[in-house]
Structure 1
Amino acid sequence: MERGGAASPWPRGRRKPARAACRDPRGPYTGPSLRPEGPTAEKHPVSTPASSSALRISASQGTARHELFFFNYFRLGQAAVYTALAFRPEHMNWPALPEPVFARLFALAYLLAALVLVARTRRTLHRPVLIVSIGLSLDIVAALLALVLMHDVRMGVAMMLAVNIATGALLLPFRLSMFFAALATLGMLGHSFFDLAIVDVSDREFAEYGLFGAAYFACASLCYVLGRNIRASEALAEQRGIDLANLSQVNELIIRRMKTGVLLVDEGNRIHQLNESAWMLMGNPSADQRDLGTLAPELSRRLYHWRTSGKLDESATMLADGTPEVVPRFTRLAPNDDSHVLIFLDDTSLVSRRAEELTLSSLGRLSASIAHEIRNPLAAIHYSAQLLAESTDMNDTDLRMVEIINNHCSRLNEIIENILQLSRRERSRPETLDLGKWVHHFVTEYRQGNDLGLDILRAVSGSEPVAAVADPQHLQQVIWNLVQNALRYGRMPGEPARVMLVARHSEAGIPILEVIDRGPGIPPKVAAQIFEPFFTTHEYGTGLGLYLARQMTEANQAALEYVRVAGGGSCFRISLTPPARTAAAAPMAAQA
């Protein structure tokens, strides 16, 4: 297997995006929300089925807040009216006060109770039913006392009590609303029966109080239905608000994670918003850099050309040193409005990689079908050559020709195996391995199956176990290929190869396997391409070995990279996945 391939220029880590403007020094702008510049909206929790009852409670509390305030303030005004009537000037004869002292004491007591209820309104918002029930009971008792002590204002008292009952019905259950309406009606009718002071008008008062009782029931029923509809409307509006906030949050997350860069630029070439991809494609600008002309002059020039002529330059360009080339596209945020323009930056490297994946997939399937067709005649040629080599009538020249046939058959079979591996992507079956024991077992097994001669292959591991999760068969194949490469190419001219297989932990505690040789190393220009498919520096290579090795490591959630060794030599490093904490105590499989 020969060396070939290029390492990705992008780091594996991903920046956590800032939620508010200019807070993260690595990401200067507020996520991808394409709104005018300003602080981002507060996040709303995603609603769940379990939150429907809480939503109704929240809506009912919101309704109760306004109605309870109105209820208590109306009672305060009602008490102020009673107080003003009780403390009327002496020269006024209306209303008649048979017992002025009791009337004034009653008015002051009712006014004090109303003030207490108003002062404690905010503290009692979580118990509206109890507070309204207490308030209505107080209002009915106060109305009956006012009828006795201020008989001349009986019509006004009865009308104000209707407002109390109607307001209470907005907040109370239906049965409780009907109870207080019945209580007020019975109180009025009872007063008309036992009021013996004005016998000549008792029949008329009885009829009036009966009509007021009917009005109490009608107002209570109507306001109960109205309150129920108000609460349902508020619950629906709040649910719609939460759904809208959730949808906005999902949209922002989608745009933030898009591979395509997105910018929002105003007519003064000032950047208002950009997502993570745009931030990286523009060279990771700092928070205070928002002028497009300063950050990306070529992009600013194309934007001006598009605004003035309407023509789009679709050629690729690089916005900053070390970033991939992009193809910018422009669109107005609103029709016929140039004040804000959306800029989309299409990363050409993503398109190239996708095209490469599609090409390799198609090529793999085609190559596999061809390889299967070649394998049968190749096996026949190889078998015939082996039989021919066993003949006793062949001279040295013929034996040499048979040897050449066998060697090329073996080489061609190796190429076919690599092509078949390119088309076959076997599923990973990870296990927990002790890499220290695994490398010693691998070296022992390799020595038994291969004649090393003067070459040196040794395993190096510490005393502590190095646990990792990987498919033993995949790991065996990858390490075997890397060791084969190291023994073949990692030697100085005229000297035996010296190869080490090292199992250790990185500084961050990640399990690592390294294949290290003391050869001449790989030139930087070649090292940048060794993992690319079909790249090879060997005369008879296929360029698939290291590419397949990296594909297998990535299938095991691992990473394969080339590291140049100081003082000469090469190192192929595999960073594996550590086991989960819950499985740390489980027994580790030490063999492939």
Structure 2
Amino acid sequence: MVDREAFYRNVVYSLRNGVITLWRDGSIADMNDAAYRILGLDADPEHIGRSFHDVLGNDHDLVDVLALAFTDAALPNRAELRLRSSGKVIGFTLCRIVDRDGTMSGAALLFKDLTRVDQLEERERLRDRLAALGEMAAAIAHEVKNPLASIQIMAGLLKRQLPDSPDAHELLTDIIHEAKMANRIVVDVLDFVRPISLEVDPVSVRVVLDDAVAAARRHPKAGHTTIVTDCATDLPDLDADQLQLRQVFTNLLINAMEALVGGGHIWITASYATVDASPEPSEPPEYVGYVTIEVADDGPGVPVDVTDQLFSPFFTTKPSGSGLGLAIVRKIIDAHDGQIEVTPRAGGGATFRVRLPVSHHVEAVRVAGGDRAAGGNHV
């Protein structure tokens, strides 16, 4: 005879959606593996029988939702919530469990990680806003760039006509410098609002990183910076725009160099993981894995209170700059359906982490052709 209770338990534990069931007194009756994974908790048998307030206390909003089940309030169905502990977005349904005689015996929360869907929707909204801004910015830039060019030319002519006036030379040099800075901001704005058109081909991650290091080395801020690269031997190629990816990692390297006043170290690492080994609970089915590239430095790091703003347009912690460099980086990564984040580095400094997807056909080529050997090197 079929063990009905064991069968239903296996059903719950086989679901990819999270399930939390509670007894009438608010203690946890059960949590499936997906619930632990989505909430970022370690599966602990000791959680069973404890109050949901104690186990889930780090997510106050989630606790408030579960508490609704023990009131007379109408319960949410197909609602969404952002978890404070991780920033993930979950879609959920909360219901009361009622006996045959109508007595409430507990509650159940069914939920799914919608973070990926939320990110894609936000990207679409951003693309729509940028398309509208692009037309306006292009018109404004045309009107601004011409006067700026005239200012630089006329200031240069005046410098030559006033060879015996050091004060005038200094002022005119400042005018030319500021005009160049304003022109750079105009160019950055155009780059940011212009729709990205990708020229996608199979791209070697190692080649992109080597090119980015070479480009960053030519930057005036390079100074006495030591760059160490360490690429895994099993990196597949990416379906990507090679030039735009090179811009991403060149910008990240220059950003790190600017943080390393007087020199320091930058570490670049690249690794590959299949979807099964990925920390994300739900991945787009068209991808089989992700290449993760980290750019870390031993500089002063990024203040925690500005981390969320770091990729926002016109936000900068530097005395000079347009505040668009990292915003452009994120835009390019988004166009490749990737992800970027910044975290403190153990031992000081910051780590920028980029995840780029690997498609099925690229993985098939990698497996058929064998792994590409790559070692670490110092620059």
**TM-score if structure 1 supplies the norm length?**
0.42
Closer/same/farther in 2, CA of residues 513 and 478 from structure 1, 3 Å limit: same
Show the 5 A alignment for 1:24-39: 29-30=12-13
Q: Does 1:385 align with 2:151?
A: yes
Q: CA deviation at 1:521?
A: 2.7
Identify the match of residue 289 of structure 1 among 24, 48, 66. 48
Q: Which residue of 2 aligns with 1:371?
A: 137
The 8 Å contact of residues 327 and 345 in structure 1, kept in 2 or not, is answered as: yes
Identify the match of residue 545 of structure 1 among 325, 349, 363. 325
Identify the match of residue 430 of structure 1 among 201, 211, 215. 201
Q: Which residue of 2 aligns with 1:585?
A: 369
* Partner Cα separation in structure 1 for residue 198 and residue 126 of structure 2: 18
Closer/same/farther in 2, CA of residues 420 and 300 from structure 1, 3 Å limit: same
SS in 2 for 1:427: coil
* Partner Cα separation in structure 1 for residue 83 and residue 269 of structure 2: 42
- Per-residue CA deviations over 1:308-358 (Å, capped at 9, x if unaligned) read xx5669999999966769898766799x99557776779998998688556
One-letter amino acid of the structure 2 residue matched with residue 289 of structure 1: I
One-letter amino acid of the structure 1 residue matched with residue 161 of structure 2: D
One-letter amino acid of the structure 2 residue matched with residue 585 of structure 1: G
Higher strand share: 2
SS in 2 for 1:519: coil
Identify the match of residue 258 of structure 2 among 474, 485, 488. 488
Flag the structure with larger Rg. 1
The 8 Å contact of residues 515 and 573 in structure 1, kept in 2 or not, is answered as: yes
Closer/same/farther in 2, CA of residues 364 and 419 from structure 1, 3 Å limit: farther
Aligned residue pair count: 330
Closer/same/farther in 2, CA of residues 413 and 280 from structure 1, 3 Å limit: same
Tell which deviates more after alignment, 350-359 or 534-543: 350-359
Closer/same/farther in 2, CA of residues 403 and 283 from structure 1, 3 Å limit: same
* Partner Cα separation in structure 1 for residue 212 and residue 84 of structure 2: 47
SS in 2 for 1:538: coil
- Per-residue CA deviations over 1:528-562 (Å, capped at 9, x if unaligned) read 65345554323455544324323423544655444
Q: CA deviation at 1:476?
A: 1.0
- Per-residue CA deviations over 1:208-227 (Å, capped at 9, x if unaligned) read xxxxxxxxxxxxxxxxxxxx
- Per-residue CA deviations over 1:145-193 (Å, capped at 9, x if unaligned) read xxxxxxxxxxxxxxxxxxxxxxxxxxxxxxxxxxxxxxxxxxxxxxxxx
The 8 Å contact of residues 141 and 190 in structure 2, kept in 1 or not, is answered as: no
Q: Which residue of 2 aligns with 1:468?
A: 237
SS in 2 for 1:580: helix
The 8 Å contact of residues 282 and 323 in structure 1, kept in 2 or not, is answered as: no
Q: Which residue of 2 aligns with 1:304?
A: 70
One-letter amino acid of the structure 2 residue matched with residue 488 of structure 1: E
Q: CA deviation at 1:484?
A: 1.8
Over aligned residues, Cα RMSD in angstroms? 5.3
Closer/same/farther in 2, CA of residues 345 and 542 from structure 1, 3 Å limit: farther
The 8 Å contact of residues 216 and 253 in structure 2, kept in 1 or not, is answered as: no
SS in 2 for 1:386: helix
Q: CA deviation at 1:485?
A: 1.0
One-letter amino acid of the structure 1 residue matched with residue 157 of structure 2: E
Show the 5 A alignment for 1:110-509: 276=34, 280=38, 289=48, 298-299=64-65, 301-306=67-72, 310=73, 357=123, 360-388=126-154, 389-391=156-158, 392-394=160-162, 395-423=165-193, 424-427=195-198, 429-433=200-204, 435=206, 438-447=208-217, 450-451=219-220, 454-456=223-225, 458=227, 460=229, 468-469=237-238, 470-491=240-261, 495=262, 497-498=263-264, 500=266, 502=268, 505=271
Closer/same/farther in 2, CA of residues 531 and 20 from structure 1, 3 Å limit: farther
* Partner Cα separation in structure 2 for residue 438 and residue 325 of structure 1: 33
* Partner Cα separation in structure 2 for residue 506 and residue 342 of structure 1: 37
- Per-residue CA deviations over 1:278-305 (Å, capped at 9, x if unaligned) read 9845967757837886667644542232
One-letter amino acid of the structure 2 residue matched with residue 385 of structure 1: I
One-letter amino acid of the structure 1 residue matched with residue 316 of structure 2: T
* Partner Cα separation in structure 2 for residue 318 and residue 356 of structure 1: 14
Closer/same/farther in 2, CA of residues 329 and 532 from structure 1, 3 Å limit: same
Instruction: Name which structure has the greater RCO, CA cutoff 8 Å, separation 6+.
Output: 1
Gaps of 5+ in 1: 1-18, 33-255
* Partner Cα separation in structure 2 for residue 408 and residue 554 of structure 1: 32
Q: Which residue of 1 aligns with 2:352?
A: 572
The 8 Å contact of residues 204 and 237 in structure 2, kept in 1 or not, is answered as: yes
* Partner Cα separation in structure 1 for residue 116 and residue 235 of structure 2: 36
Closer/same/farther in 2, CA of residues 457 and 370 from structure 1, 3 Å limit: farther
* Partner Cα separation in structure 2 for residue 453 and residue 262 of structure 1: 52
Closer/same/farther in 2, CA of residues 477 and 501 from structure 1, 3 Å limit: farther
* Partner Cα separation in structure 1 for residue 224 and residue 369 of structure 2: 38
The 8 Å contact of residues 333 and 342 in structure 1, kept in 2 or not, is answered as: yes
Q: CA deviation at 1:381?
A: 1.5
* Partner Cα separation in structure 2 for residue 512 and residue 351 of structure 1: 20
One-letter amino acid of the structure 2 residue matched with residue 410 of structure 1: K
The 8 Å contact of residues 266 and 339 in structure 1, kept in 2 or not, is answered as: no
Higher helix share: 1
* Partner Cα separation in structure 2 for residue 356 and residue 434 of structure 1: 27
The 8 Å contact of residues 513 and 575 in structure 1, kept in 2 or not, is answered as: yes
